[in-house]
Structure 1
């Protein structure tokens, strides 16, 4: 099912809805960072339990001929809907997924994909950069948001499962969410 989920035909989106059993943001003193990040559909300050969630992944061909997948994630908290968007392409030479986070993108991260022995997808972040209008600046390791994503499919319950953790060595947790979702018919 994960192979099917990631085999995205061009211009035919994967759409799913579900529930995040738990969402935790970072420390309260980081609110100014979250305020800027939320405006660019990246990270956000809210935390909660049993938060309705939707995702839309759309593959398109860029003018360069490269394929890009747009990730649009929405978290529907009681008083506000928050978004976590990204644009991803593949770098076949370096064998990484290039992940531009937010709309517009303020951060970039290499993503390394592996498959666990039980068939779950494990994604870890690599090199990260800060995106400015005309330049990308390396983020020092001590300031990086280290990402671990584990995605699977529960055959008995017929749901996709997801656990995302973004952690910084100095600041602690930046974001964590865990839940499940099912594909919707178009």
Structure 2
């Protein structure tokens, strides 16, 4: 049973069958897919110094674009302590540069949250709350966030948080996974948005 099945419990069965298959993630058997982000929008130009640092750690990046080729790989691994971890590797292939957005996820079964460490190395942490919509889509919202400084984690004031909303579904007509991600700050506005579709590929 993967971390997402454990987290969602019986609600996991309410996901679209293709999403159930996508998030089953047997250990060391990656889910790999290719697709296109129809739109990617970064934040304000004056935030470029922040994006420059973030991009070096495979986190956020300054580019925007349309119809950007995209790949995603999710791999479930067993940590030395026996805990399951899912590695997220997302690549956005812009014309002049490929950008990466990586993360490592485990769960807190008591608090019922996904523990999401963003970037490689990770500089940011966020609680993630997973729910299933009545249409069988997966809805993800961020919670508590922290800066990660080596072995220290410092709370991020709410006014500086990047509030995340993710909706992932499956289009039965076109036989593609659909994704919409929004990261927004109450003061700075949009930090990142991307929306598109992808199709699983054999490894």
Normalised-by-shorter TM-score class? over 0.9
Who is 1:69 aligned against? 86
Within 5 A, what are the aligned runs for 1:1-186?
A: 1-186=18-203
Q: TM-score, normalised by structure 2?
A: 0.91
Distance 2:150 2:200 in 1: 36
In the TM superposition, residue 63 of structure 1 has moved relative to its aligned partner by 0.3
Distance 2:109 2:139 in 1: 19
Give the total of aligned pairs.
186
Distance 2:102 2:152 in 1: 21
Distance 2:184 2:163 in 1: 5
Encode CA deviations 1:159-179: one digit per residue, 9 max, x unaligned: 000000000000000000000
Q: TM-score, normalised by structure 1?
A: 1.00
Q: Which runs of no fewer than 5 residues in structure 2 stay unpaired?
A: 1-17
Distance 2:181 2:43 in 1: 14
Distance 2:136 2:27 in 1: 25
Q: Aligned with 2:134: secondary structure?
A: coil
**Structure (1/2) with the larger helix percentage:** 2
Which 4+ stretches in 1 moved above 2 angstroms? Answer: none
Q: CA RMSD in A?
A: 0.4
